[in-house]
Amino acid sequence: MTVRENSWVLITGASSGFGKEFARQYAAKGKSLILVARRLNELEALADELRSRFDVDVMVQQADLSSINVIIDLHRRLRDSNTVVDVLINNAGYGLQGAFLDEPLESSLAMIDLDVASLTAITRLFAEDMRARHKGHILMTASLLSYQGVKNFAVYSAAKAYVLRFSDALHRELKQDGVVVTALCPGMSDTGFAASAKQKITPVLKRVMMQPEPVVRAGIQALHAGRMSVVPGFGNKAIAVLTWATPRRLHQGLMSRVMGV
Ligand SMILES: NC(=O)c1ccc[n+]([C@@H]2O[C@H](COP(=O)([O-])OP(=O)(O)OC[C@H]3O[C@@H](n4cnc5c(N)ncnc54)[C@H](OP(=O)(O)O)[C@@H]3O)[C@@H](O)[C@H]2O)c1
């Protein structure tokens, strides 16, 4: 009988896109997983697949993470069952494309609730446990849009700028406590993101679009190498360099055009 280590990888937004791919890649490494999202059927199907393909332990936790109370409850339940989360993949999130003034205020605020407030809360709870054990890894899925305010993605790009800055600061702050914090900054990728953002996919975007597999692989490598952040893919790296090397007015205008507005 295999005696498994009490060490779990918790992945938020595991029912689709990057989250699903994080689950597959960690399962392939033999890690025990906690899959979190709202769509229970998707999570159960993925859990079944991973158990039978990789013989790993998989726990499913259906949760709407836009509620802080739900996050507190999830953390409490895991702590009470002595489930040790050594890796936290803070990945659940979404964007919305549209002119700021044409979007209902509630939609913008709901996005901030998940992309910013919930990510902050879940990090606070699990990072505290990691600090006590002097051990842990936290990955934050930010975005290439973290680097600039993009027209018609005003709230989303601002939210992802928060994620990147928050992650950078914690990287330094928690290093001395044995906890690694890494930001993953993907560009346009082939997940459920575009559909939920009601995003127009321009021919340029279609050309640069990455598959989740290499994006997630870059994230996992960077996290376990202790890096502060990673931009996956050559094209995305080139955009990041352009952002650092050119005046804001220039790259911000360019990016707004590339994003299809
Ligand atoms: N794809 C891209 O082009 C791209 C680029 C840069 C950054 N990102 C970021 O990557 C992350 C993952 O997105 P994705 O691209 O993989 O898109 P996706 O395929 O739409 O996945 C989003 C995930 O978030 C979960 N989620 C959404 N609202 C939730 C809630 N209230 N509570 C719990 N889970 C929730 C969804 O699960 P349920 O619906 O089942 O709850 C789903 O599993 C996001 O943070 C996104 O901003 C994406």
Residue by residue, DSSP assigns 180-203 as EEEEE---SBSSSHHHHHT----H
* Residue 130 predicted with pLDDT over 90: yes
Does the C-beta of 202 come closer than 6 Å to ligand 1? no
pLDDT-based confidence at residue 1 (cuts at 50, 70, 90): low
* Residue 3 predicted with pLDDT over 70: no
Q: Who wins on pLDDT, 87 or 261? A: 87
Q: Is 82 helix (H, G, I), strand (E, B) or coil?
A: coil
Does the C-beta of 23 come closer than 6 Å to ligand 1? no
How far, in Å, from the CA of 194 to the mean position of ligand 1? 10
Per residue in 133-183, pLDDT (tens digit) is: 999 999 999 999 999 999 999 999 999 999 999 999 999 999 999 999 999
How far, in Å, from the CA of 98 to the mean position of ligand 1? 18
How far, in Å, from the CA of 141 to the mean position of ligand 1? 9
Distance CA 179, CA 170 (A): 9
Stretch 199-204: mean pLDDT: 84
Ligand 1 atom closest to the CA of 94, numbered from 1? 47
Does the C-beta of 148 come closer than 6 Å to ligand 1? no
Does the C-beta of 196 come closer than 6 Å to ligand 1? yes
pLDDT-based confidence at residue 247 (cuts at 50, 70, 90): confident
Q: Are 210 and 188 in contact (CB under 8 A)?
A: yes
Per residue in 35-88, pLDDT (tens digit) is: 999 999 999 999 999 999 999 999 999 999 999 999 999 999 999 999 999 999
Provide the phi-psi class of 192: left if phi over 0, else alpha when psi is between -120 and 50, else beta: alpha
Pure H helices in 35-153: 40-54, 68-80, 105-112, 119-133
Catalytic (active site) residue 156: yes
Phi then psi for residue 99, to 5 deg, are -65, 135
Query: pLDDT at position 23, please?
Result: 98
Q: 26, 94, 147, 156: which is the annotated catalytic residue?
A: 156
Greatest Cα-to-Cα distance within the chain, rounded to the nearest angstrom: 62
Q: Which of 191, 200, 210 to mutate to test the pocket of ligand 1 (most atoms within 8 A of CB)?
A: 191
Distance CA 184, CA 167 (A): 10
- Under CATH, which number does the domain 8-258 receive? 3.40.50.720
Query: pLDDT at position 231, please?
Result: 98
How far, in Å, from the CA of 216 to the mean position of ligand 1? 13
When the pLDDT of each residue in the chain is averaged and rounded to a whole number, the result is 95
Distance CA 76, CA 143 (A): 30
Distance CA 164, CA 145 (A): 10
Does the C-beta of 114 come closer than 6 Å to ligand 1? yes
Distance CA 188, CA 231 (A): 12
